[in-house]
């Protein structure tokens, strides 16, 4: 396990770790840098990009989806 001080890492990210003094019972490494961010699957984002016809889903759910503002994501 490694310490991520800024809490900026996600599952699947490629990171560079540096050894450190023991920060806890299990943490002896710190995240030095994030080399590559992972692409994270989001079912809600999929529905926003490829909406289903209103006949397929509940109308109230469709209204809730339309209230979301577009997200700007960085997938380098």
Pairing relationship of beta strands 14-19 and 29-36 according to DSSP bridges: antiparallel
pLDDT for res 34? 93
Q: What is the pTM of this model?
A: 0.49
- The sheet carrying 2-3 orders its strands as 2-3, 29-36, 14-19
pLDDT for res 7? 85
Question: How far apart are alpha carbons 4 and 2 in whole angstroms?
Answer: 6
pLDDT tens, residue by residue, 3-42: 998 888 887 889 999 999 999 999 999 999 999 988 776 6
pLDDT for res 36? 92
pLDDT tens, residue by residue, 38-75: 877 666 666 666 665 555 555 556 556 665 555 555 55
């Amino acid at each position: 396990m490694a310490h991520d001080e800024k809490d900026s890492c996600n599952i699947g990210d490629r990171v560079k770790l540096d050894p450190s003094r023991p920060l806890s019972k299990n943490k002896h490494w710190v995240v030095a840098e994030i080399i590559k961010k992972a692409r994270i699957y989001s079912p809600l984002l999929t529905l926003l990009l490829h909406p289903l016809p209103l006949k397929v889903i509940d109308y109230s759910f469709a209204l809730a989806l339309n209230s979301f503002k577009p997200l700007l994501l960085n997938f380098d």
